[in-house]
Amino acid sequence: MQTSPIPPNIAHIKQLPDGTLAYQSNEGHCLGVAHLAQRFASEFGMGEWGYILGLLHDKGKEKPEFQDYIRCVNGIPGHTNWTHDGKAHAYVGALLARKAYPGFADAMVNQLAGHHAGLYDYTELQYILQQPLPEGIAYDGAAVRPSVEKLKNIGCQADFHHLFRMLYSCLVDADYLDTEAFMNSDASRLRTRRKTLAELLPMLEERLRLMSEKPQNPVNAVRQRVQEQCRKAAALQPGCFSLTVPTGGGKTLSSLVWALRHAVCHGLRRIVIAIPYTSIIVQTAGVLRDIFGEENVLEHHSDADPDEIHDPLLRRQMKLATENWDYPIVVTTNVRLFESMYACSPSACRKLHNLCHSVLILDEVQTLPTGYLQPIVDALKSYQHLFGISVLLTTASQPILSGEIQGCNPKASFPGIRNIHEIIPDDFRLHEALRRVTLEIDRQGSTYDDIAERLARHDRVLCIVNTRRDAQELYNRLPQEGITLHLSRMMCPAHIRQTIEEIKHALGDASATVIRVVATQLIEAGVDIDFPVVYRQEAGLDSVLQAAGRCNREGLQPLCTTHVFSLSAERPLPRGHISAANAARCNIVGEPDWFAPATMTEYFRQYYCRQQSFDAKGIAELLYQPQEMCFKQAAREFRLIEDSGVGIIVNFGDSLAMVERLKQEGPSYSLLKQLAQYTVSVHRRDFERLRGILTEEIEGIYVARDREQYSPAVGLTMENHWLEEILIK
């Protein structure tokens, strides 16, 4: 085998189609990474730091032991022995940084030492830095001197870990990209720039023009007024904004109008939309793709499968874009966004630098988990003043995120965002202009039979309850006539999606005389349905108003009613968030206008004052001390969704055919994505009831094959039907 000339220090080796080997020199790789990291870090005024990190990150590959390793594993003659210690190299750049920049090396050593393994806790980092610097490796720190101006302008201790993690993002993405350019040039060429936001803006304006030509009604007139106000507010200087629009007021398109025009006006690079529920993400991403084209909208969440894209070139581009979010419009989940902001691994942090100089839209912002509210708000503040992002908080139920945020424990209080500019003026009084529903609140305890009897009086009615159990109990008591449907997370995502489409179709069918639906909160936000009557089990005011947003949504009927009821005659509300939120609503005194923004503000004051902590996992203690930051432990603790459930693949649709593929082919990214659409997550205690009787395990994945165990009406059932059949003679 003939090869090209071998450089003294090799960074990477690849085999060419003709069988020869090509080499990337370590000097060339480090310089390429340095230039990329410099470009990325220049977005927030630390280009020299990025350049230094790039130059230093792989200096450890100059060790003779590493060169023996890379030659040995690639079969280069004369090199047959290597040890794991020889492979290790990331720590060397950290040692060189500490030697060359003793005054401020703390701001770069963790990034260098962890550019493969992830950012370390400070105790582990100190242990790593005790290693000796290998002989023969030198670096002239005087050649590049970083500016410390950015560090001097740090506003508070909470900023440091975000700044250090952002530098880490610049380094690891630059490292990935330069390596990819050498090792996989075809993939590298696919990372071409999409349209700019300035090119996308006319597409949106044309869509809105076409919509304005349709027949008008009072609701559409309000939506257009909101859009016009968003156009005017787009020129305001970057910062933090809120868009408070009642449900049905068109805030999705209005927020996009503001975001695109604001970005173009101020030279911001992309729009990132974070949404709490995948159902809303799928709906929102579909609207955006319809306007801007599939090639300009990246949908990134656990249920999104790039393999569903038909165009093979676009499919590969989408997969690459999920790695670093280099796309003009990104739609993702709150979980993925904020867990990335507190992550420590290279793959999770890689995308962060592409948030710089972007517009971040947080949809349904009232759903941010209270136990993580302080680190989330602190992150938004840091990203705003360190990295030049503009934040837009959109909801019909605006929480309190400015001023002093106070809980029942004085030590839990923390300062919110200093200045949030509300785009919609008070004198718009949208809650009155869009008033389509009145609330009727019944505080008397009812039974399942009571509520089922009340629901049966209506031909078209939606009932939303708090738990899966409540949904099944009410559904089982309804007369099975016309179209009577159940929705809960005991149904797999494919089943839920199919049922929602069935509801929408039935509501649009004038011949469908009876349509009754019992659902959990999964239908409460982002599902565009319109019932003349809605029942909502008692809950927080934000949840009640979300439910009311499914009632007379288009305002085509006279004032309709949303009934709020209690099931306390059956059992009390679950302890925790639901009961605390309901207590906050019940403690609002007088006879308030439930739809007024002032009432929502009072509700959140009541709710917050019942909280013991806004930082339940102690993230501040782990990260807010610059000399003792615990990146790894904080990443483990910052989990917006506790992974306490067990997923079970159910017998629905063609799921068992996919299970057979899993057994024959083994797990693959695409297949597991598809199987996720047929998976139900159950509490571990419930799983133990089924384990060994109703499930089989394949590659660590559990399957409930029995068709009788999955009801086409209510989904996965927890009772063992075989035990029931044993009793039948």
Q: Where are the domains of the chain?
A: 10-190, 197-396+417-428, 436-594, 645-726
3-state secondary structure of 551: strand
Average pLDDT over residues 243-258: 91
Among 236-250, 365-379, 676-690, the range scoring the smallest mean pLDDT is: 676-690
Position 727 pLDDT exceeds 60: no
Cβ distance 279 to 527 under 8 Å?
yes
Average pLDDT over residues 224-240: 96
Position 723 pLDDT exceeds 50: no
Burial of 454 (0-12, 13-18, 19+ CB in 10 A): middle
CA dihedral 277, 279, 283, 286 (to 10 degrees): 100
Q: What is the pLDDT of residues 403-447, one digit of tens each?
A: 999 888 777 889 999 999 999 999 999 998 889 999 999 989 999
Structure confidence at residue 407 (pLDDT): 85
Cα separation, 695 vs 680, in Å, equals 13
Tell me: domain 197-396+417-428, CATH 2.60.120.640, correct?
A: no
Position 306 pLDDT exceeds 80: no
Give the residues across from 425 on adjacent strands: none
Position 728 pLDDT exceeds 60: no
What is the end-to-end Cα distance of the chain in Å, rounded? 77
Cβ distance 522 to 467 under 8 Å?
no
Structure confidence at residue 665 (pLDDT): 86
Half-sphere exposure of 545 (CA within 13 A, CB side): 26
Cα separation, 501 vs 505, in Å, equals 6
Domains 197-396+417-428 and 436-594 share a fold: yes
Position 75 pLDDT exceeds 90: no
Which residue is associated with the tokens 């793709």?
Answer: 289
Length of the chain: 729
Opening angle at CA 51, ends 21 and 357, nearest 5? 110
Cβ distance 541 to 603 under 8 Å?
yes
* Average pLDDT for the chain: 89
- Closest CA relative to residue 212, chosen from 232, 198, 199, 228: 228
Q: How confident is the model at residue 180 (pLDDT cuts 50, 70, 90)?
A: very high
Which residue is associated with the tokens 């691994």?
Answer: 345
Cα separation, 217 vs 220, in Å, equals 5
Q: Which fold has domain 436-594?
A: Rossmann fold (3.40.50)
Could you tell me the CA-to-CA distances from 192 to 14, 186, 188, 296, 318 in Å, in that order?
Answer: 23, 11, 8, 11, 11
Q: How confident is the model at residue 81 (pLDDT cuts 50, 70, 90)?
A: low
Q: Which residue has the higher pLDDT, 399 or 80?
A: 399
Cβ distance 640 to 338 under 8 Å?
yes
Q: What is the pLDDT of residues 97-149, one digit of tens each?
A: 999 998 889 999 999 999 999 999 999 999 999 999 998 898 888 788 888 88
**Edge-to-edge order in the sheet of strand 679-683:** 679-683, 645-650, 701-704, 696-698
Which residue is associated with the tokens 């933090």?
Answer: 240
Position 305 pLDDT exceeds 80: no
Q: What is the pLDDT of residues 492-506, one digit of tens each?
A: 999 998 999 999 999
Half-sphere exposure of 276 (CA within 13 A, CB side): 19
Average pLDDT over residues 373-382: 97
Q: Residues 144-165, buried b or exposed e (16+ Cβ, 10 A)?
A: bebeeebbeebeeebbbbbbbb
Which residue is associated with the tokens 């559409």?
Answer: 220
Structure confidence at residue 185 (pLDDT): 85
Cβ distance 487 to 522 under 8 Å?
yes
Pairing status of strand 710-711 against strand 701-704: unpaired
Burial of 666 (0-12, 13-18, 19+ CB in 10 A): exposed
Burial of 504 (0-12, 13-18, 19+ CB in 10 A): middle
